[in-house]
Chains A and B, each alone.
Chain A
Amino acid sequence: MTTLTVTQNFGKGAKDIAVYRKLGGYSTIGQKLFDLSQFEMIDLVQRSGLRGRGGAGFPTGMKWSFVPRGGKPVYLVVNADEGEPGTFKDHVLMQEDPHRLIEGMILCGWALGVRTAYIYVRGEFLPAIETLNAAIKQAYEAGFLGENIQGSGYSLDIYVHRGAGAYICGEETALINSLEGFKGQPRLKPPFPAVSGAWASPTCVNNVETLMALPWIFENGAEAYAAMGTPKSTGTKVFSVSGDVKRPGVYEVPLGTPLMELLESDKYCQGVVGKLKGVIPGGSSSPVLTVEEAAKATMDYEALAALKTMLGSGAVVVFNETRSVVGMLASLTRFYAHESCGQCTPCREGTGYADRILKTVVAGKGRDGDLENMLSLADNFSYTTICPLASADAGPIQNFIGKYRAEFDAVVARNPEHADERVTPAFRPGAFW
């Protein structure tokens, strides 16, 4: 039986604070916590090796240590704007176990001296938002939030903020802009949010899952958490598996678990439907794995980086031989072109143009050279932008075309005139004289 650190209360009705407390919840919010200094708390998280579960995998303790103290108020913002295609863990987590998130926020709040915290939830997650609001109300009534938590003298208020469903608001500075009431567009960095974020104050932006791991770490110790997983990718991770598997869903496994175990094991997905063609291991922006690569892959940050892909948000998308990768890429490029915030030029124009080329190809009007142009455009917009959205589009374009080139070429070849020389009508020789 693997140890669960985040999803242990699933299916137990932990939405209700009474049930949650019976299951051992809120036991960390007590004298033991308030006896710890902020630095000891940050040190605990650093020793546990916990890394941000939102996608980038940045060490959480290190992020916290960047937050300056003693000046402006520090804000904690929970990033629950889960928008990556394929990812669906956070809203399940919030819906099944909202109190664990609140408990994690109190632990983080104590570590950073936070007085006000926000949960920025994707607007479409209406059930999750209702669950959260109800849980927060219960927590206030039980004295875990508000003034003077459990007689400790520490106070914390939590507000739930509904986003309007823009993918870019998952980027932390865009999220902060949106939270402040501006258009959700990323800011220039530096300054980073840890120094100057919401209302120009130090702001810590953490993913839902990251914070929900904190109660277990606090209870069982950093060493117990670090013992799980691999030396550099410690602990467990929640994966949202979708696509051609027998039992898609949200699964928590220790980092370093082989990908095929996650897909084949009876405990988890119970096998692939049909013949496997490829796997996207970490959400739509992570490069795709072919069958051979998938067989070798273990689910941790380093092993996937070695395969030139990434763990990302842990959204595993499985597809079999019946799926057209051209169609998959077309829907991804459409997604990124639609979700580009339109602030900086390369992403605004590039994602849209790449999408229009692929649409033309899919419509059977592809020409030789179109794919090369797409690859070159993707390369050009991947390194010139403000935020990583454009490179998240470039990754799939380069990898899908690179790894399934024959299939793309076959689609281009559907156009009987695909090999014709490119002629601009007005400049055809002899057009004027």
Chain B
Amino acid sequence: MSNFYHMPVLPKPDAKKVTINVDGADVEVPEGTNLVEALKTIGIDTPHFCYHQDLPVSGNCRQCMVETDGPRGMGLAIACYTPVRAGMKVATDRSSDKVKQARQAVMEFQLANHPLDCPICDKAGECSLQDNYMAAGRHESRMREDIGKLYKGSPEFRHEDAKGQERGGKHVDLGPTVILDQERCILCDRCVRFMRSVAGEEQLYINQRGDHAFLSTFPGMELKHDYDLNVTDICPVGALTGKHFRFRQRVWNLSKTETIDPFDSLGANITVEHNDGQAWRIMPRRNPEVNKSWISNRTRLEYQKLSKDRLTAGSFQKAEVPLAQAVARAGELVRGARKVAVVASGTLTLEDNAALQALVAGLDKKAELFSGSWAKVGSPDGIAQSGDPVGNRLGLKLLGISENLDELVARAKEFDVLLVAGHDLWALDAQKAKALEAIPERIVLSPWHDATTAKATLSVGVRAWAEVRGTMVNCQGRIQMLNAAPILPSPDLEPVWQVVSSIGKLGWTSELDAYKAAQAGIPALAGINYRGIGSQGRLLEGVVA
């Protein structure tokens, strides 16, 4: 560690191309970037541990060796710290035995003190060490078992842990969220660099030196930060694991669904990982323009709510009724009402809100659309959250839905039916919400049993954010996709737009109908379909100055 921070230069889509010679073939790669990235653009993966796109280059694992030409002829260099130069010659392990040998040598050293406990290691299946070993290892041990490994889990590696207790290196409780298994650590110092340069609070460091070096928190201190679980993602081995996921699932059984975090207006890109109809964890999905490779612990633990307290049926006058019956009853209430107040929500997708808009339009003068949120807005943390818990606030604005929830409170007595979707009004501000109890029929569409469904006269269970396909516009003006993971607690649950379509008899059959309605209302969406949004989202022109 030093005061030097060389952030890697990553290839930009519009970067100038230069010609370099890789393994005897001339290829075009983006100028200025490092060789790991440049080789990636032409389909060559370079094994590495310490290098990470969003962390300063440290160059300590020595795994990414390539040969490059210099003043003294071809020589070994680490690809992560070698910038691309026009006309340079590069030899990878495909053409150079020297590179192959060097990588095998480094891999042997990586494994010299690494335990062979893959069968009980949580990282197995997504471990860089396993992957790189298969690609670049010796595959034949010459270590003497009676010389043995330096077992850093043993009490010899004594240090003071977060609770002030002397302990060895196995199963170290670093703080509220992360567990360290010292013996698996390969000292790449990614976690140290993350805490230092991304989280901005130095809480981890590498104690001691040589082969008796070990990762630790500072004596008597713990690893505690809103983003500390990211160290478990960037850990290339199974040394750092999160308490929330440790020993829950083998990672190769998990299927992944790409979606975004709807509870923050930056819309951090994530994957929901699920198996057997249940979400087991949320992992960050890299988007250089949005959240880089990071998500907050709040986003990461959002999956736990998906299987808790779910409203899987309807309830009418405190009695549980089947969903279909609840939806039919809601339709009758809304259509037969004198005047309906419909509350749209920024935590719902554009599709859902477009459906609510269409419902109000279809009811003509009998209905009025309200929106807004009583949730507290914080400030951006500079990493992966904007601080605004209303994920689709900008989307609502684009649809032309104004934030006038307080007006509804003032005029509550004018209405006889209230339709709320995606808002837990009574939990956010019970005092203001009390005025809404003057409306005799209160219909609530919610995925969860919450304070608002408790006050409802009719509640209808709907799908939660991870179970729907749709779009949201984040605070940068970027439209991003949510995708539906197959983790429904009940197969009868429908997305909000579909329930609203049934209530208002809109006749919509898929979210595409809803999206088309949203497109009609937002000129910036013209010509952009779901495929055009893609996995990295799409910046809408002229939406944010």
Contacts and interface: CB of A to CB of B under 8 A. Distances in A.
Interface of A: 166, 168, 173, 176-177, 180, 182-183, 185, 187-188, 196, 199-200, 337-346, 348-353, 356-357, 360, 365, 367, 369-370, 373, 380-381, 383-386, 422, 424-425
B211 A373 contact: no
Contacts of A422: 144
A376 B187 CA distance: 23
Please name the 6 residue pairs, one residue from A and one from B, whose CB atoms are nearest each other, closest first: A352-B211, A380-B105, A342-B213, A342-B209, A340-B210, A349-B109
Given A346-B62, A353-B112, A384 B105 contact: yes
B77 to A, nearest CB: 11
B128 to A, nearest CB: 13
B147 interface: yes
B464 interface: no
B405 interface: no
B65 A349 contact: no
Interface secondary structure of A, over-half rule = helix
A411 to B, nearest CB: 16
A180 B211 contact: no
22 contacts: A180-B3, A187-B2, A187-B4, A196-B4, A199-B3, A337-B210, A340-B209, A340-B210, A342-B187, A344-B59, A344-B62, A345-B110, A348-B187, A351-B211, A353-B113, A356-B147, A357-B147, A360-B146, A380-B102, A380-B109, A384-B102, A424-B145
Contacts of B81: 188
B218 to A, nearest CB: 13
A359 to B, nearest CB: 8
Interface string B136-164: 00000011111100100000000000000
A162 B178 CA distance: 37
B2 A185 contact: yes
Contacts of A424: 145
Contacts of B147: 353, 356-357, 360
B211 A340 contact: yes
A367 B1 contact: no
Given A185-B2, A345-B60, A386-B59, A337 B109 contact: no
Nearest to A184: B209
Nearest to A385: B62
A424 B61 CA distance: 29
Interface in B1-17: 1-4, 6
A339 to B, nearest CB: 7
B63 interface: yes
B210 A381 contact: no
Contacts, number: 124
B186 interface: yes
B57 interface: yes
Contacts of B186: 345
Given A183-B1, A187-B2, A381 B105 contact: yes
A383 B74 CA distance: 14
Interface of B: 1-4, 6, 57-63, 65, 76, 81, 101-102, 105-106, 108-110, 112-113, 142-147, 150, 186-187, 206, 208-213
Given A349-B112, A370-B144, A342 B210 contact: yes
A193 B61 CA distance: 23
Given A180-B2, A384-B105, A386-B60, 5 more contacts: A339-B209, A352-B112, A353-B143, A380-B101, A384-B106
A373 B112 CA distance: 13
Contacts of A365: 146
A349 B110 CA distance: 7
A348 B142 contact: no
B58 to A, nearest CB: 8
B210 A384 contact: no
Contacts of A351: 210-211
Nearest to B206: A342
B416 to A, nearest CB: 70
Contacts of B144: 357, 360, 367, 370, 422
Contacts of B1: 177, 182-183, 185
Contacts of A345: 60-63, 106, 109-110, 186-187
Given A349-B109, A383-B102, A343 B60 contact: yes
Contact of A352 (B63, B76, B106, B210): B210
Contacts of B108: 380
Contacts of B58: 188
Contacts of A200: 3-4
Given A342-B209, A346-B105, A348-B211, A384 B62 contact: yes
Nearest to B61: A345
A424 B109 CA distance: 20
Most buried by A among B59, B106, B143, B208: B106
A370 B59 CA distance: 31
A356 B146 CA distance: 11
Given A349-B211, A381-B109, A424-B145, A344 B3 contact: no
Contacts of A176: 2
B72 to A, nearest CB: 13
Contacts of B146: 360, 365
Contacts of A183: 1, 206, 209
A183 B144 CA distance: 33
Most buried by A among B108, B186, B209: B209
A386 B50 CA distance: 14
Nearest to A381: B109
Nearest to B104: A380
A173 B3 CA distance: 11
B353 to A, nearest CB: 51
A353 B428 CA distance: 60
A375 to B, nearest CB: 12
A422 B62 CA distance: 30
A344 B61 contact: yes
A180 B212 CA distance: 24
B3 A182 contact: yes
Contacts of A384: 62, 65, 76, 102, 105-106
B2 A350 contact: no
A346 B145 contact: no
B177 to A, nearest CB: 26
A349 B108 CA distance: 9
Nearest to B208: A342
Nearest to A188: B59
A378 to B, nearest CB: 11
A196 B5 CA distance: 12
A395 to B, nearest CB: 17
A177 B110 CA distance: 25
A18 to B, nearest CB: 42
A386 B189 CA distance: 15
Nearest to A359: B147
A419 to B, nearest CB: 14
Contacts of B65: 384
A346 B61 CA distance: 8
